């Protein structure tokens, strides 16, 4: 019985984590400059775009973004 409760708690925690990562990706998409995309993955949010490393270094607004 305890094992089923533990399994259910784990499932709920994973679902909540997945929803949270998707929410952060959606917020990032709304705030990111054009040409940069955000995608939710299991481990977090992946940013991608042409010359992203250069833009990250040159655009302070991009470096200081916080998606909480």
**Exposed (0-12), middle (13-18) or buried (19+): which is 25, by Cβ within 10 Å?**
buried
What's the predicted TM-score (pTM) here? 0.72
User: Do the domain assignments include residue 6?
Assistant: yes
Based on the structure, what is the number of domains in the chain? 1
The per-residue pLDDT of the chain, averaged, comes to: 88
Q: Is residue 12 over pLDDT 80?
A: yes
pLDDT level of residue 60 (50, 70, 90 thresholds): confident
User: Do the domain assignments include residue 33?
Assistant: yes
User: Do the domain assignments include residue 68?
Assistant: no
User: Do the domain assignments include residue 47?
Assistant: yes
- pLDDT per position as a tens digit, 30-58: 888 888 899 999 888 888 999 888 988 88
Identify whether the C-beta of residue 37 lies closer than 8 Å to the C-beta of residue 49: yes
């Amino acid at each position: 019985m305890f094992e089923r409760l533990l399994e259910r708690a784990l499932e709920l925690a994973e679902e909540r984590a997945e929803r949270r990562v998707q929410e952060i990706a959606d917020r990032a998409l709304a705030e990111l400059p054009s040409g940069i995309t955000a995608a939710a993955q299991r481990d977090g949010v992946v940013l991608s775009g042409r010359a992203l490393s250069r833009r990250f270094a040159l655009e302070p607004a991009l470096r200081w973004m916080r998606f909480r």
